[in-house]
Amino acid sequence: MSSPLSFVHPTADSPWGTYLSQVDRVMPYLGHLARWGETLKRPKRTLIVDIPIELDDGTVAHFEGYRVQHNMSRGPGKGGVRYHPDVTLEEVMALSAWMTVKTAAVNLPYGGAKGGIRVDPSKLSMKELERMTRRYTSEIGIIIGPQQDIPAPDVNTNGQIMAWMMDTYSMNVGGTATGVVTGKPIHLGGSLGRVKATGRGVFVTGREAARRIGMPLDGARVAVQGFGNVGSSAAELFAQAGAKIVAVQDHTGTIVNSNGMDLAELMPVLKRDGGVGNFKGAERIDNEAFWDVKCDILIPAALEGQIDAKRAERITAKLVLEGANGPTVPSADDILADRGVLVVPDVICNAGGVTVSYFEWVQDFSSFFWSEDEINVRLDKIMVDALKKIWDTADRHKISLRTATFAVACERILMAREERGLYP
């Protein structure tokens, strides 16, 4: 699979290769707009930065950081920042492209962007983490801003990281710019409901999908891979709806309980240990055995590329809700479709986070803040309406929900591109 960027050589199942394949599949449904299709395969801007910091022991360490702005035809860039030892430019390119599609799928006035630093943050002290975050923010400060590109939390980043980013940017521009990032602490212009928003979106789209295929949530068996903000928030909402959380996997191990886990007991363990591995109310099993657990709903909410062709053959669920970005490779997508497994794709399923980030951005501009109930009502309506349009598109063309989401989103993106024209 060729890449428009000569220094990126994706494989078919790599993040960027997966994205390019998804774009190729949607081209037949774009009509005259397909002439602009190459736009979707070329990031508008890629920035690679060196991040030197002084460690606590006096030595100087260098980290590699990225910020990619994929497409800004519909508005400023929007997308998270992740700190992970496996971060690469290719991964960040794919994540930024999925953000372009995601924001268009729920019709937010944004383009797609993403950032990351190749680092294991658990090996840094808080002071080192702060120095790295501030230096990274200064380095990418030339392309971010409240109306240029608005970062947010992602893997291994949180409200505190966003507070440092906001403060650094504000110091550099000489005024408080709360709207430069979202996912901030509440008292720094953050929004109520933001932390659980992505997980809530997974639940809302999952509830609608289950209703469409006639699957009652009461008693449904749910398996969750990844138990951070997204996976744990979605699990709590499914449990409140009567579902049983029968399996959980995170970086500390895999636990199962066919009768359903008591989340009131599990959540304190998660908070104490940063993982579920030591939970006593479930049996510990081998990580690979997670994919064989009998369940009705599977929520991959960890990293990309988790469901490959071999695992797709083993999954027992009838409904897959993509809480993570890019968890299913194209070959696995086809296998799941052949087996009659419904996949609600990441670009709509986990769009709750960016939707409430949008609410936060709007509230920061107006300096007027909404209640959590108002946030949740508005989030639910946007997610349900977006999914309905996507489902109607899927039914009309007899295509998967993923291709239908890309069709709806890419039509909006390329229409904006066409109407804006080419400059100069």
Residue 106 pLDDT grade (very low, low, confident, very high; cuts 50, 70, 90)? very high
Structure tokens at 54: 């002084």
Task: Give the residue carrying structure tokens 């260098």.
Answer: 62
Query: What does the pLDDT read at residue 303?
Result: 85
Quick one: average pLDDT of 275-289?
A: 93
What pLDDT digit, counting tens, does each position of 203-232 carry? 999 999 999 999 999 999 999 999 998 999
The residues near 396 (Cβ < 8 Å, ≥ 6 apart) are none
Separate counts of helices (H) and strands (E) for the chain = 13, 12
CA distance 267 to 11: 38
370 is written with which tokens?
């909404």
Task: Kindly tell me the burial class for residue 323, based on how many C-beta atoms sit within 10 Å of its own C-beta (0-12, 13-18, 19 or more).
Answer: buried
- Mean pLDDT across the stretch 237-256? 96
Per the structure block, which two tokens stand in for 123?
């090996």
Q: Which of 41, 44, 78, 114 is catalytic?
A: 114
- Whole-model pTM? 0.94
Residue 346 has pLDDT above 80, yes or no: yes
Q: Where are the alpha helices (DSSP H) in 174-245?
A: 197-212, 229-240
| Residue 193: both structure tokens together | 């409901």
Structure-block tokens of residue 223 = 């398996």
Question: DSSP code of 71?
Answer: E
Is 244 considered catalytic here?
no
Q: Note the pLDDT of residue 12.
A: 72
Q: Which domains does the chain have, with CATH numbers?
A: 43-176 (3.40.50.10860), 197-349 (3.40.50.720)
Given a contact cutoff of 8 angstroms between Cβ atoms, the answer to whether 152 and 181 are in contact is yes
